[in-house]
Amino acid sequence: MTTLSLISGNCGRRNRGEDHGSELLRRFSGKDLFASDLLRISFRRGDGIWSKDLEGHRIRNRNKFHVTAKIKKGKQYDYPWPHDIDPNISSGHLSYLSHFKPLTEKPKQVTLPFEKPLVDLEKKITEIRRMADETGLDFSDQIAALENKYQQALKDLYKHLTPIQRLSIARHPNRPTVLDHILNITEKWVELHGDRAGYDDPAIVTGIGSMDEKSYMFIGHQKGRNTKENIARNFAMPTPHGYRKALRMMKYADHHGFPIITFVDTPGAFADLKSEELGQGEAIAHNLRTMFGLKVPVVTVVTGEGGSGGALAIACSNKLFMLENSAFYVASPEACAAILWKSSQAAPKAAEKLRITAQEHYRLKIADGVIPEPLGGAHVDPAWTSQQIKITITQAIKELENMNTEELLQHRRLKFRSIGGFQEGFPVEPKRKRNMKPSEVNMPKAADIELEIENLKKKILEAKGPSDPITTQAIEKLKKDVDKEMTNAFISMGLQEKLESVKLELSKASKDTSSQPLNRNLKEKVDKIMQEFNHNLSQPGAYLGLKQKLEKLNLVSRLIEKEERKQKLKAEINQKVPAELKEKMELLKNAEEKISKGEPVDKELMEEVEAVKKELVEVLKSANLDVVGVTKKNAVTAPPELKEKIEKVNTEIYEEIERVINEAGISGRIEELKAGIAKGSSSEDIEKAEAKIKEDILATLDVEALKEKAKSLTVELDLPEETVAEGEISAENGKF
């Protein structure tokens, strides 16, 4: 292109015989050029050469004006469309309006970790087939049997995939992108660009395409097929410009009546500083609000992973479908594991708890259907997967087109209202608290754990021995819980791989040198792992459940050890005590029973009891046992008439409390308290209500009269010292 440049200088005036005019550019081929002759110069546009010889002229007058002109050949503007556009194009897509081109090189095959065993098996089958061809022998039956087993193993593997394995398939580098699916299912396709605010985000693609001679607006997240494309597409993480571009296309589709098809495949919205400054949250929120007011059918297909609000910003649709190995989540399993378990290595556990798979979403009625994929994932046969998507979309659009505008908007609104179990038209209980915090009433408290420990301790002490079935069952359950908690703790601390390697080395070392001591290097590794584990465990607020169970298990172990020693000591004493002394001990027991009942004991029996005690002490000393002392047992039992008085006083106290509750109208508040405990009210509210009820009862109750009755009963129970039985021998740790 040829251009003409004119540059003018400032005009000056002659003052006192001096010329103050300024010249900016006045030399051309060594000569001066004046403006009066400039317009009469003719030139050729093609090569920019002057057609007339330029000569220098100078005009000296009051106003001086210099202009220099030059013809330059410019560069033609590089428009995206070709010069020879076919106006009668009937099929295909306008590739010159899209940066998406076919790959020149075939993508490299990527094997996921859980697929490696089957890949190795496939290589071996291929090797066997090659060897059979080389030798010329017929092994077709054997090879066919192996291939059948391989196909069966492949089906079993992909039928029982874990959530984290499905997520790895959704993130597969060779998984077909949104534009791959669009080009496979459309007859015509033109990509539209820009948010009309100065930017075109490549992470979101939009355009108009036709399927079965019907036009649709397509919107989707676009990942790259290699590293270069991923960087250009920002790994399908849109900025606010991308969401505003999608919003603009949605409004166009709503205006022209095009059904909207959205494809979701993004780890989430781009969360850099610039995006936040440009209003990332506002752009997503604007899309969410606008999509619920669109008057055309909206269908969403999750083709890969859908991350949080970045995916939901184009997924507020009438119908939501997910590919078989796709995932939809509010936070990635790695991020969730890092928050909850302080390590991203707990991602498999987080993926299971988050329920991110298509099957879980369909079960929870979030997704309206699951689109099947070929065995191995969508990247195995992208064209077949795209056709399954096309069939699902066309069927959904046919169903939605039968609705009028009001029904369509109501259908979209109710779809999201019903998520979480809410039913339109049914009132919500106003008193029921709906929050994510678990009820404090059902949460284990320190007092409950201590009570459980005491109960277990009591069981152990009351048991006949450590082999008691009830006690053994409780201990085994506790050990299993501790093992499970410790395994989870090792995983969250990132020590699982180290522990497995040490276990493998220990097993090898035990086979090689069963009688020799542990290798020093191996011992250092074990000590280092345990030191790191104990350090992480000792952090305040970390692994509270595991700490409590470990303390409980240590206490139980000590009690069992103590009980075993006690039983062993009893057996030894019984062996060394002669039969005659055992008969005399029966006499001692009978005397103790008489004393406890308050019956009079004659002097001869008491002397005989003392003699039995001395004889027993001598026997214990002969068994090399150190007798430290003799304990006194205050086993006071009230006489029958005193028991009647105690029961009478208790009955009077209960009747008085019942009378106060009925007269003060506290019974209704007690029932409300019981109902609150059953519904799961907070512990603070329960404690306040209990304190208030107790305070009201005490304020109305005649406490002084009840205190007098209890005091008189206590005086009657104060028995003389002669009724106290002495002489019980207690055994503990081998000392008496």
pLDDT band at 594 (very low <50, low <70, confident <90, very high): low
Mean pLDDT of the chain: 75
Calculate Rg over the CA atoms of the chain: 45
pLDDT band at 622 (very low <50, low <70, confident <90, very high): low
C-beta of residue 260 within 8 angstroms of C-beta of residue 208: no
Q: Indicate whether 295 pLDDT > 80.
A: yes
Distances (CA, A) of 655 to 652, 660, 701: 5, 9, 11
Q: For residue 452, what pLDDT is reported?
A: 59
pLDDT band at 443 (very low <50, low <70, confident <90, very high): very low
CA dihedral 453, 454, 456, 460 (to 10 degrees): 130
pLDDT tens per residue across span 452-462: 556 655 655 55
Q: Indicate whether 75 pLDDT > 50.
A: no
Task: Indicate the residue type of 661.
Answer: I
pLDDT tens per residue across span 116-155: 888 888 888 788 778 777 777 777 777 787 788 878 888 8
Please state which of the ranges 26-35, 366-375, 611-620 shows the lowest mean pLDDT.
Answer: 26-35
Please state which of the ranges 267-271, 400-404, 470-474, 670-674 shows the lowest mean pLDDT.
Answer: 470-474
Alpha-helical (H) ranges within 423-543 are 446-462, 469-492, 496-512, 520-537
Task: Please indicate whether residue 172 or residue 661 has the higher confidence score (pLDDT).
Answer: 172
C-beta of residue 12 within 8 angstroms of C-beta of residue 22: yes
CB atoms within 10 A of CB 475: 20
CA dihedral 194, 195, 199, 202 (to 10 degrees): -60
Q: Indicate whether 304 pLDDT > 90.
A: yes
Q: Indicate whether 210 pLDDT > 80.
A: yes
Q: Indicate whether 385 pLDDT > 50.
A: yes
Q: What mean pLDDT comes out for the span 305-316? A: 93
pLDDT band at 57 (very low <50, low <70, confident <90, very high): very low
Q: Indicate whether 36 pLDDT > 60.
A: no
The label of the residue with tokens 């992108």 reads: 177
Sequence-distant contacts of 411-414: CB under 8 A, at least 24 apart: 411/318, 412/291, 412/292, 412/298, 412/316, 412/317, 412/318, 413/292
pLDDT band at 369 (very low <50, low <70, confident <90, very high): very high
pLDDT band at 568 (very low <50, low <70, confident <90, very high): confident
Task: Please indicate whether residue 467 or residue 259 has the higher confidence score (pLDDT).
Answer: 259
Q: For residue 40, what pLDDT is reported?
A: 46
Please state which of the ranges 532-546, 616-630, 665-679 shows the lowest mean pLDDT.
Answer: 616-630
CB atoms within 10 A of CB 272: 12
| Rounded Cα distance, 340 and 167, in Å | 19
pLDDT band at 630 (very low <50, low <70, confident <90, very high): low
Sign of the torsion angle spanned by Cα atoms 27, 33, 38, 42: negative
Q: For residue 130, what pLDDT is reported?
A: 80
- Bridge-based pairing of strands 298-307 and 369-371 is unpaired
Q: For residue 471, what pLDDT is reported?
A: 61
Q: Indicate whether 499 pLDDT > 70.
A: yes
Q: For residue 515, what pLDDT is reported?
A: 55
Task: Please indicate whether residue 175 or residue 655 has the higher confidence score (pLDDT).
Answer: 175
Q: What mean pLDDT comes out for the span 715-730? A: 43
Q: For residue 717, what pLDDT is reported?
A: 56
pLDDT band at 517 (very low <50, low <70, confident <90, very high): low
CB atoms within 10 A of CB 245: 27
How many CA atoms does the CB half-sphere of 631 hold within 13 Å? Answer: 10
The label of the residue with tokens 């309206």 reads: 368
| Ramachandran region, residue 428 (left: φ > 0; alpha: ψ -120 to 50; beta: rest) | beta
| Rounded Cα distance, 391 and 387, in Å | 6
Q: Where does residue 514 rank: exposed (0-12), middle (13-18), buried (19+ CB within 10 A)?
A: exposed
Q: For residue 69, what pLDDT is reported?
A: 58
Task: Indicate the residue type of 656.
Answer: E
Q: Indicate whether 727 pLDDT > 90.
A: no
C-beta of residue 350 within 8 angstroms of C-beta of residue 336: yes
pLDDT tens per residue across span 411-439: 999 999 888 776 666 666 665 555 444 44
C-beta of residue 365 within 8 angstroms of C-beta of residue 422: no
Q: Indicate whether 654 pLDDT > 80.
A: no
Q: For residue 482, what pLDDT is reported?
A: 80
Which range of 33-47, 54-68, 75-89, 498-512 scores highest in mean pLDDT? It is: 498-512
C-beta of residue 526 within 8 angstroms of C-beta of residue 424: no
Predicted TM-score (pTM) of this structure: 0.51
Residue by residue, DSSP assigns 513-540 as: -SSSPPPHHHHHHHHHHHHHHHHHHTST
CA–centroid distance for 547 within its chain: 23
Distances (CA, A) of 612 to 113, 578, 581, 722: 78, 12, 8, 19
Strands (E) across 40-132 are located at 67-73, 92-93
Task: Indicate the residue type of 588.
Answer: L
| Rounded Cα distance, 588 and 172, in Å | 84
By C-alpha distance, which of 353, 356, 303 is closest to 329?
Answer: 356
HEC letters along 282-303: HHHHHHHHHHCCCCCCEEEEEE
Task: Please indicate whether residue 452 or residue 222 has the higher confidence score (pLDDT).
Answer: 222
Token pair recorded at residue 51: 């057609």
| Rounded Cα distance, 224 and 704, in Å | 85
Percent of the residues in the chain that have a pLDDT greater than 70, as a whole number: 65
C-beta of residue 649 within 8 angstroms of C-beta of residue 713: yes
